[in-house]
Amino acid sequence: MSVSLANAPAISLALAVEAGAWGDPDRIEALALTALEAAARDLSEREGQPFPAEPPEVSLVLADDAMMAEINAQWRAQPKPTNVLSFPAFPLVPGGLPGPMLGDIILARQTIEREAGELDKPLDEHITHLVVHGFLHLFGYDHIENDDADEMEAIETRILTSLNLSDPYGDTEPV
Beta bridge partners of 103: 58, 88
Nearby residues of 128 by Cβ (< 8 Å), 6 or more positions away: 31, 34, 35, 160, 163, 165
Global pTM?
Answer: 0.87
pLDDT band at 88 (very low <50, low <70, confident <90, very high): very high
| CB contact at 8 A, 37 and 80 | no
pLDDT band at 114 (very low <50, low <70, confident <90, very high): very high
Dist. CA 135–CA 157, nearest whole Å = 13
What domains, with CATH codes, occur in the chain? 2-162 (3.40.390.30)
Give me the pLDDT at residue 174, please.
Answer: 40
Question: What is the average pLDDT across 23-49?
Answer: 90
Give me the pLDDT at residue 134, please.
Answer: 94
Question: What is the average pLDDT across 139-159?
Answer: 78
Residue 6 DSSP one-character state: T
Q: Please count the other Cβ atoms lying within 10 Å of the Cβ belonging to residue 93.
A: 8
Q: Locate all alpha helices (DSSP H) within 48-122, ordered by sequence.
A: 65-76, 109-119
- Give the 3-state secondary structure of 137-149: HHCCCCCCCHHHH
- 162 to each of 34, 40, 89, 158, how far by Cα in Å? 11, 12, 27, 6
Beta bridge partners of 17: 62
Give me the pLDDT at residue 171, please.
Answer: 53
Residue 14 DSSP one-character state: E
Give me the pLDDT at residue 148, please.
Answer: 59
Dist. CA 138–CA 75, nearest whole Å = 16
Mean pLDDT of the chain: 85
pLDDT band at 3 (very low <50, low <70, confident <90, very high): very low
Question: What is the average pLDDT across 81-101?
Answer: 90
